[in-house]
Chains A and B, each alone.
Chain A
Amino acid sequence: MTTQGSNITTRPYDWAAIIKDVIGSGIITFLILTPIVAFKTTLDQGSLTYSTRWPLVLTLALIVIAGRLIFHLFVWNRIETSKSAKAAPAKPGILSTIGKYIGPIMLVIALILPLISHFFPTSDKRVIDLAIYVLTYVMLGWGLNIVVGLAGLLDLGYVAFYAVGAYAYALLSTVYLPEWFGAGVVPWAFYLTLPLAGILAATWGVILGFPVLRLRGDYLAIVTLAFGEIIRLVLVNWFAFTNGPQGIIVPKATFFGLPFKDDPGGFAAFFGLEYNRIHFYIFLYYVILALALLTFVVTNRLRRLPIGRAWEALREDEIACRALGINTTNTKLTAFAIGAMFGGFAGSFFAARQGFVSPESFVYLESAIILAIVVLGGLGSQIGIVFAAIAIMGSFELFREMDFLKAILPQGTDPIQFRMLAVGLAMVLMMRFRPRGFVTKRDPTVFLKEKKAVSGDFVSQGHG
């Protein structure tokens, strides 16, 4: 067996072309940076002024020129003669051995995380809070993964279902449940609303999905984006129903009716513990862990049912699906509804954790972040989504503390400002270099006798 990348030869340098390209890219970079980076406009007490930042522009342009030159000299002139090496079947190497154990290991870490962090009391609340935050996005990522990764439908309005779930909890727990069943029901509101929120979100998924799912990929993306914005605008403007941009203050989640409060009726008093705010966080952590695992398990089971197989077939080739007699509209609709349902659960949890909902939390950028998690996770890989969520959400936290960046950057720039820029760049680079995720392997769901991993390069996706 030949190993990959062995037959590499170099081409003689075509100096004229290299110089032309380097100068060209230098000019383009300079043009791109000149107005927007070179002139910094500031609004100072009503009068506009500007300052220049030419050194920065020149440095960046020189970096681009030098970078291209280096790539020309050392990277791009290599011709890989053995194309076949690239398309070799995925070998059961060390990666897949790790891959087999990484899931269970992560699960164990996730289960005992509150215990671990308990031994570091200085930072335990922050760690748990971050873990809750990350897990919420893992769950959202897994939910969106059903729509984007498995069924191949690009949904840019996923946050709408998150919003439906959150507002379902907010409105039911503050207005409707007390009205219907009396005020005594409020401590139980979270448990009563959670399934309702899922059902409502799924219903909305069907309502929104039904008319538009006949559209092809990119139209669908725009329509879902429009729906997401419509729902947000309605939340902002329908003052009588949603209290508009001011939002709604909602009761936080309770431990089966026992509130996390420092009084005789509270959770701590009932179990004879000393009151500590951390109890609430640990409780929330296990709730979201359970919800996320539910998403994971349900998705995995569904993938083995005919409907799951239909989703993946649909992603690979819609026309072939139709030819084989799969009802594509129904298949898409179920993916949409189930994805929406998990979004609704997550939204309901979000509201119960936050104790407050407002339309601010459900902007388009939020959809983009969830999509970025799914994309960076490798479109369809569930474990990849966990890593992507940790990477993106964790890096958001890290950006806050990167002091070395502050030293490089000009005065007054905060590294945290660059986080979405980095996410956007990561999406582009991912599509450019690793469109099928970091581990390009597709596990076949149907197999004869034994399971063989298929290299991602063999799977042609959705040319139709």
Chain B
Amino acid sequence: MEYFLQQLINGVTLGSIYGLIAIGYTMVYGIIGMINFAHGDVFMVGSIVAFIVILAFGVTGGTGTFMLILALAIIVVIAMIIAAAYNWSIERLAYKPLRGSFRLAPLISAIGMSIVLQEFVRVAQEGRPKPIHPIIDGGFEIMHRASENGEFIVRISNMQIIIIISTLVLMAVFTALIQRTALGRAQRSCEQDMKMAALIGIDVDRTISITFIMGAALAAFAGILFLLYYGSTDFFVGFLAGIKAFTAAVLGGIGSIPGAMLGGLIIGLVEVMWSAYFTVEYKDVAAFTLLVIVLIFLPQGLLGKPAVEKV
């Protein structure tokens, strides 16, 4: 039971990170109906930028609490801006000119862009993993029980608390943004019918650009959390995280933001539980298999609307 509880905490933490990335996939898919294959790599760029800024500022675990919070806030802002610049440029250079081209063109372009981002970071920063010293440590013991084979402690670390709470806050902010603001209305109308939205005076290009920027900001935040949680990053982390987050987006129902979060949690839990109770080696296989199963049997996802193909 304690073991399960501990894994539950770990799974929810991991799932929050996947969920944040998945939102970017789901929003872009909702509006222009394509998989932004490079999104996982934008997440990676976010984590690499955070790594560089942490190194440049000399942030360590020994920094005082106030300074630490200030430094983290600056890191978050910088990483979000840079990742947004990346995703905006990607959309401008690689996707926008291809709207109206044939079906596979944007997808192939996105795959090319994903390779470009990975290789760019690898060339500029070397391929080796980049470790940092733990910055946020400490935590709470939730449960403590002595059994015959030693004592078992259920812990939740401060980092996990930060991840879960900040994800909840960001989710709330984004849902409000989509549901209540003019920008969100523009996005939802583009999602329903792009031509009609243009006719009633919505700047479609701008709305799409903003969607990419928002997705990138969330991915960058996930990248920072990833770096702080695992203490290491490299140029290839975006590949696996990207596929899993995409699985989360599909599982939750592509186009639905709460769905992306729910899907992220499920993927995170499946991955952690699989490693805990079955084999660690096959945890990625489990996630990929889940993707295949979901796409075959539940293509509209848990919270999505069934897609109607228009001719």
Contact = CB atoms under 8 A, between A and B. Distances in A.
A226 interface: yes
Contacts of A223: 291-292, 295
Interface in B117-149: 118-126, 128, 130-132
Interface in A33-51: 34-37, 39-43, 48, 50
Contacts of A227: 288, 292
Nearest to A418: B123
B98 A229 contact: no
Interface in A153-202: 154, 156
A217 B103 contact: yes
A461 B106 CA distance: 13
B120 A36 contact: yes
Interface stretch (A292-300, A427-435, A447-455): A427-435
A427 B102 CA distance: 15
Contacts of A148: 104
Interface stretch (B11-19, B65-73, B81-89, B198-206): B81-89
A420 B121 CA distance: 12
B216 to A, nearest CB: 12
B112 A230 contact: no
Contacts of B123: 413, 417-418, 421
B261 interface: no
B284 interface: yes
A340 interface: no
B281 interface: yes
A323 to B, nearest CB: 9
A383 interface: no
What interface size band does chain B fall in?
35 or more
A462 interface: yes
A50 B56 contact: yes
A32 B112 contact: no
Given A421-B119, A427-B111, A462 B35 contact: no
B284 A229 contact: yes
A290 interface: no
A244 to B, nearest CB: 10
B35 A218 contact: yes
Contact of A35 (B52, B105, B279, B284): B52
Report the contact-size class of chain A (Cβ under 8 Å from the partner): 35 or more
A254 to B, nearest CB: 36
Nearest to A236: B281
A34 to B, nearest CB: 7
B113 interface: yes
Interface string B273-305: 000000101101100110110011001000000
B52 A41 contact: yes
A234 B299 contact: no
A221 B295 contact: no
Interface of A: 28, 31-32, 34-37, 39-43, 48, 50, 148, 152, 154, 156, 211-212, 214-219, 221-223, 225-227, 229-230, 233-234, 236-237, 319, 364-365, 368, 371-372, 375, 379, 413, 417-418, 420-421, 423-428, 430-432, 435, 460-464
Given A226-B288, A230-B285, A234-B285, 6 more contacts: A28-B89, A216-B309, A225-B243, A365-B115, A428-B116, A462-B103
Interface of B: 34-35, 45, 48-49, 51-53, 55-56, 78, 81-82, 85-86, 88-89, 93-94, 97-98, 101-109, 111-116, 118-126, 128, 130-132, 239, 243, 246, 250, 279, 281-282, 284-285, 288-289, 291-292, 295-296, 299, 309, 311
26 contacts: A28-B85, A31-B82, A32-B89, A35-B78, A36-B52, A40-B124, A48-B55, A50-B52, A156-B111, A212-B296, A216-B309, A218-B35, A221-B111, A222-B243, A226-B243, A417-B123, A418-B119, A420-B118, A421-B115, A424-B116, A425-B112, A435-B98, A460-B102, A461-B102, A462-B104, A464-B311
Shortest Cβ-Cβ A-B pairs, 9 listed: A427-B112, A424-B115, A461-B102, A424-B116, A421-B119, A462-B103, A226-B288, A428-B112, A431-B109
